[in-house]
Structure 1
Amino acid sequence: MKTLVLGATTNKDRYAYKAIHSLVDRSHQVVAIGTKEGMALDVKIETTKIPLSGIDTVTLYLNPKNQQEYYDYIVSLKPRRVVFNPGTENPDFYEILKQNNIEVEIGCILVMLATNQY
């Protein structure tokens, strides 16, 4: 299962970094996009909307305002679901995703992984 972490960072104190760590620890394939290039463990953080295929889940670490520039990109990836982590809730985007048959999950990916609900 391939996951895109959107809002990735090299800052080990941030939840986006912890999510990458947790996904990698559980042998998930991870792709990361953030505002600054770098590495989060062995995962390269891209800074552009790179062409991707086979994305099952997009997990968001961007506030709703910063999500807007990614709406079309995320929809074009045709993920099975998008996880809205705490602080990323965005009812306007939920509707766009649902109209494109993409599942919306509101929760914390760290908790989902820790409790085997991912």
Structure 2
Amino acid sequence: MSDDKNLTVVLGASPNPSRYAYLAAERLQNHDKPFKLVSIKKGELFGESFLDLRDRPAIENVHTVTLYIGAPRLTEWLDYILSLTPVRIIFNPGTENMALAKAAESQGIEVVFGCTLVMLGTGQY
């Protein structure tokens, strides 16, 4: 891993504590992993304000994009996600968009079909 690429983007962040995206942000915080929260929702978690997905915010040093947007809706954001030039993309359950996965692989981005919560909990992150 390149040392300057250490940031995780939680795409589809949620201020709702019962959502997996919230739990992922909480666990990233607990594991001292730097992150940015990107969503169409407004909010703040753990001192990080949500960035508006519709603005397609430029974010540097992205190592991982972890997805919490349903697979059918990801196609709209495909170009934006790839523009972040992450090292890997984690497709959490329900986000498995094969067009995005193939486009990412063609650009040398690691594609993981898994669960961020499990990966963090088992030291595989």
TM-score, normalised to structure 1, is 0.96
Aligned match of 1:14: 19
Q: Whose strand proportion is higher, 1 or 2?
A: 1
* Structure 2: 5+ residue stretches without partners: 1-5
Quick check: 1:3 aligned with 2:5?
A: no
CA distance in 1, matches of 2:97, 2:41: 24
CA distance in 2, matches of 1:107, 1:117: 11
Amino acid at match of 1:40: L
Which portions of structure 1, spanning 4 or more consecutive aligned residues, are displaced by more than 6 angstroms? none
Quick check: 1:33 aligned with 2:38?
A: yes
Q: Give CA-to-partner distance per residue, 1:34-77, whole Å, 9 cap, x none.
A: 11111122121111311111000000000112111211111111
Amino acid at match of 1:20: A
* Pairs aligned (count): 118
Quick check: 1:66 aligned with 2:99?
A: no
CA distance in 2, matches of 1:46, 1:37: 8
- The secondary structure found in structure 2 opposite 1:117 is coil
Aligned match of 2:104: 97
* Structure 1: 5+ residue stretches without partners: none
Instruction: Percent identity, please.
Output: 39
TM-score, normalised to structure 2, is 0.91
Amino acid at match of 2:8: T
| Range that drifts further, 7-16 or 61-70 | 61-70
CA distance in 1, matches of 2:14, 2:47: 13
Quick check: 1:87 aligned with 2:94?
A: yes
Quick check: 1:49 aligned with 2:56?
A: yes
